[in-house]
Structure 1
Amino acid sequence: MRRKIVSNAIISSALVLLFNFSAFSQQNVEKYDSREYWIATMIKIADPVLKNLSQEQLRAKMPVINKDSNRVRVAHLEAFGRTLAGIAPWLELGVDNTAEGKLREKYIQLTRKALTVAVDPSSPDFLNFNKQQQPLVDAAFMAQGLLRGYTQLWEPLDNATKANIVNALKSSRVIKPGENNWLLFSAIIEAFLIKSGNGGDVHRIVYALQKHMDWYKGDGAYGDGEEFHWDYYNSFVIQPMMLDITRVLSEKKMDTVISYQKVLNRAQRYAAVQERLISPEGTYPPIGRSMIYRFGAFQLLSQIALQKNLPAEISPAQVRSALSLVVYRTMKAPNTFDSKGWLNMGVIGSQPSMAENYITTGSLYLCTVGLLPLGLPANDPFWTGKAEDWTSKKIWKGIDLPADHAYKESK
C-alpha cells in the first residue's frame, strides 16, 4: 500500500512538472503554441473550482467579488457550470497510459466527485439551481458540459447522482427566460434531458430555435433577440448552444425544420470571421459586454475546430497558432489570478471596472470554453501541424490572399 502511495506521488510530481503553467518561457513561441501549454492553462484555471467543490469547500474557499451583493448565491454554480462546459471535451478523451492520460484520469475523477456534491441536497456545497434568475444560465452551461463529456462525466455516475442531476436541472424550469439568448439556456437543458432519456421538453427547444432563426441577421450572425449587438454573444452562447442542441435532435432523429446542417453552415462563416478578428499580435477588438470572459470570446471558433468543421481555407494549425497567442497574451498578464489562484476580473490582468453589474468571480470561468480543441487527441493535425500564420498575420505581412466574401444562403 505504501509503495502504491509513493508511486502515485512520483507520478503526480512528474505531471506537475510537465504541465506546470508557470514553467512556460515568455521568450519561446514553441512553448506556448503547444498542447502542453493549453493543458497547463486549463488546469491552472479549473483546478481551484473542481478541487474545492469535490471537497465541499467551494462556498467556503471561493472569493465572490461582485458589484451586486444579491448575486453571491449564484456565483458558485457559475464557476462550476462554466468550467464544466470548457473542460468536458478534454476529459471526454478518457484515460490512457500517457502522462496526459493520467492527468485526465485525475480530473475525470475530480469532476465526477464535484458533480456529485453540486447536486446533493445534503451537501453544504449543494448549488443553487432555481433561486433568482441567473441559475438558469449556469445550469445550462452544466448541461452543455454533460453533453460534451457524456461518456466520461454522465454515463459512469451512479443512479442516485444521475437522479439528483436531473432533479436539479428540472428545478430550473421555474425560471422564465427572456426573449433573447436566454431561450437557449432552457433549450440546452431540455436537449440534455432528451439525450439522457429523462423527459426533455421538445417544445421549449423548438421555440428557442425558431426564435433564433427569426432573429438571423445574415452573414453568419444572429441578433440577441430582435436587435443585433456588437459583442461576442454569438460565440459565448448563441451559436455553440445551437450547434449542441441541433446535434442532439439530429442524433435522436428529431430534426425539425431547423436542421443541424443549416446551423453549422452559418457557424462556419462566423468562425471564419472570428479567425480574421485575431490580430497579428494576438489581440482582438474589445467590443461589447462581458469582455472579461477573456478568450471565451472564441468559443465558436474553438468548437468548429473541435468538430473538425473549419472552412476549407482555414487550416487547423493556423487556428491553433492564433488562439495560442490570444491565450498567452491574456494569461501572461500580471494579476490575472489572485494570491490563491482564483481568476481576477479583467481582459488583461486585473481590470475590475470592465465588469458589468451581473459579473461575479464565478462568471469569469467561461474563459475555459476557448480551450475546447483540447478535446482533439494529441495526434490530431490541429496539434501536430507546424506553426502557421493566421489570416490577419498573413495579410499584414503583405501576402496576397483571396478576397473575403459574405455568406449567402440559397433561397
Structure 2
Amino acid sequence: MKKSTSLTCLLFSLFALSLSGASFAFEQPGSKLEKSNSREYWVSVLIKISDPVLRNLSKAQLRTNMPVVCKEPNRKNVAHLEAFGRTLAGIAPWLELGADQTKEGKLRAEYISMTRKALSVSVDPSSPDFLNFSSKNGQQPLVDAAFLAQGLLRGYTQLWEPLDQQTKDNVVNALKSSRSIKPGQNNWLLFSATIEAFLIKSGNGGNIEPIVYALNKHADWYKGDATYGDGPDFHWDYYNSFVIQPMMLDIVKVLKDKQMDSTISYDKVLKRAQRYAVIQERLISPEGTFPPVGRSLVYRYGAFQVLSQVALLNKLPEEISPAQVRSALSLVIYRLTEAPGTFDTKGWLNAGFYGNQPGLAEYYITTGSLYLCTVGLLPLGLPANDSFWTSPAKDWTSKKVWKGVDLPADHAYTD
C-alpha cells in the first residue's frame, strides 16, 4: 500500500535518527532524500560521477586534469583506463536508449556524442590521452580493457556501430594488445573472455578458446546457491557482483546470439544471477546500508551490479518487485553519494565506502578504480515508462521483516 508523503518522511527520519552521524536525519518533505527514489535522481548521480571522466577524455585532457591518488606509484599508469573503462560499463545501458526530444533524451544525446569522442581519443596512438592497454604497463590493463569491452557490448548500437572505421580499427587493436597479458586463475579469466566476446560479436577475430576455458573453470568453481568461488576458493566479498556473474551474463548472451553457448547455457547463468539478485536485495537493511565485507569496498554501490543487471534485463524473480528493488537501491545510492567527502572539491571521486576513507583502499586501488560504482546504476537502461520507474515506492524485504511483516521462508537455490 502506498504511504503518504508525511508518513514516508517520518519513517526516513526515524531510521536516520538511529544512525549516528547520519547527515540526512532531519531532511524535510521535498528534500533530496525524498526525491532520491526517482529516475531523475539516479540520472543526476550518473552524470555527476561520469561527467569529469567523459568530458576531460573527450577533450584529451584526462591525464592533465584527473587527480590520481594511489598507494603504489606504478599504478598511476593504469588509472585513466580504469576510470574510462569502468565508467563506460556503467553508463552504456543508459546511452543505449538513444536520443529523443525529452529533457533526458537531449541530455543523453550530449553524452552519447561525448562518449564516442572519448572512445576515439582513448585509442588514438597519436593522442596525449591514448590509454594503456598492453602488458608493458603491467597486468592491470587487461582488467579495464575488459570493462571497456563490456561497455561496448552494453551500448553496442549507440557506442560501437556509429564509430568511424579508423576508430573501430583502433579499438580492436587496443583490445587485442591486451592479449599479451596472461590472466590469473580466478575472476581474471573473465576479463580475457569478455574482450574476446566483444571481438566475436563485432566480427573482429575473437577467440573462443579463452571464453570456453573461463566458463569451464567457473563452472568448476561454482559453490552452490548461486555463488561462485573467486578461483577455487570461496571469498566473503562482492566479486560475484563486481565481476563474475555480470561478465558471465554478457559473455554467454553473445554466445547464445551466435548459437555458440554449448559450455554453459545462458538460462543457467541467468537463473543463478536471479537467485543472487534475491540475496543482494535481502542484504539491504531498512536504513539503506549493507555489510562492509571483503575487498574493494571503495567500489561502493557497484557491489549491487548483479541486482541492477537483473533489473535491467527485466528478469527480477517474482519475490522481489521492481518497485522494491528501486526503493532499496535508491536509498543505498543516496546514502553513499551524499556522504560528506565522497567527491573532492573538483568533483572527482575520493576513495571510501561512506565518504572519504582512504584506509579502506587496497594497494591496487587508484582514483580510476572508484568509477566501478557506476555499474550499480544499470537500470537507467530501462526506459522512463518502465514499471521499475513508474511504480509507487515499496518496502524491500529487510524493511518488511523488521516491521514484523510475515513473509515466505527463504531457501537455497539448487540446479
Specify the TM-score bucket, using the shorter chain as the normaliser. Answer: over 0.9
Take 1:73 and 1:325, find their aligned partners in 2: how far apart are those partners? Answer: 35
CA drift of 1:355 comes to 0.3
Q: Is the contact between residue 322 and residue 388 of structure 2 (CA under 8 Å) also seen in structure 1?
A: yes
Distance 1:389 1:321 in 2: 7
Match among 272, 290, 294 for residue 266 of structure 1: 272
The C-alpha deviation readout for 1:45-86, integer Å capped at 9, x for no partner, is: 000000000000000000000000010000000000000000
| 1:56 lines up with 2:99 in the alignment | no
Quote the Cα distance in structure 2 between the aligned partners of 1:230 and 1:129: 30
2:223 aligned counterpart, secondary structure:
strand
2:226 and 2:273 in contact (8 A); partners too: yes
Aligned twin of 1:360: 366
Query: What is the letter of the counterpart of residue 382 of structure 1?
Result: F
Aligned residues: 386
Q: Determine if the alignment matches structure 1 residue 121 to structure 2 residue 125.
A: yes
Q: Determine whether 1:374 maps to 2:396.
A: no
Residue ranges of structure 1 left out of the alignment (5+ in a row): 1-23
Query: What corresponds to 2:290 in structure 1?
Result: 284
Give 1:297 shift: 0.3
Relative distance call for 1:79 and 1:25 in structure 2 (3 A) is farther
- The residue number in structure 2 matching 1:71 is 75
1:158 corresponds to which residue? Answer: 164
Q: Does 1:101 align with 2:105?
A: yes
Quick one: which of 215, 234, 237 aligns to 2:243? Answer: 237
Moved over 6 A (4+): none
Gaps of 5+ in 2: 1-27
State whether residues 98 and 109 of structure 2, in contact with CA within 8 Å, keep that contact through their aligned partners in structure 1. Answer: yes
Distance in 2 between residues matched to 1:29 and 1:134, nearest whole Å? 37
Aligned CA distance change for structure 1 residues 151 and 289 (closer, same or farther; 3 Å): same
Q: Which amino acid aligns with 1:73?
A: N
Of 327-336 and 83-92, the range deviating more from structure 2:
327-336
Give the counterpart of 1:207 among 205, 213, 218: 213
Note if contact 2:212-2:263 (Cα within 8 Å) is conserved in structure 1.
no
- 2:393 aligned residue (387, 390, 394): 387
CA shift digits 1:309-361 (9 cap, x unpaired): 11111100100000000000101111110011000000111000000000000
Distance (Å, rounded) in 2 between the aligned partners of 1:371 and 1:27: 21
Q: What's 1:19 paired with?
A: none
Equivalent-residue separation in structure 1 for 2:121 and 2:30 (angstroms): 38
Equivalent AA in structure 1 for residue 229 of structure 2: G
The question of whether the paired residues in 1 share the 8 Å contact of 2:33 and 2:334 is answered with no
| Deviation digits for residues 203-262 of structure 1 (CA, Å, limit 9, x no counterpart) | 000000000000000000000000000000000000000000000000011111311111
Alignment correspondent of 2:180: 174
Q: 1:222 aligns with which of 223, 228, 249?
A: 228
Report SS of the residue matched to 1:217: strand
C-alpha distance in 1, partners of 2:29/2:220? 48
Q: Percent identity?
A: 75
The structural deviation recorded for 1:363 is 0.1
Deviations 1:361-401 (A, max 9, x none): 00000000000000000000000000000000000000000
Equivalent residue for 2:45? 41
Which residue identity does 1:88 align to in structure 2? A
- Matched position secondary structure for 1:95: coil
Aligned match of 1:326: 332
Rounded to whole Å, the distance in 2 between the matches of 1:111 and 1:230 is: 35
When normalised by structure 2's length, the TM-score is 0.92
Q: State the AA in 1 paired with 2:150.
A: Q
The structure-2 alpha-carbon separation of the partners of 1:331 and 1:217, relative to structure 1 and needing over 3 Å to count, comes to same
TM-score normalised per structure 1: 0.93
**Per-residue CA distance 1:131-188 (angstroms, 9 max, x = gap):** 2100000000000000000000000000000000000000000000000000000000
In 2, the alpha carbon distance for the partners of 1:400 and 1:59 equals 54
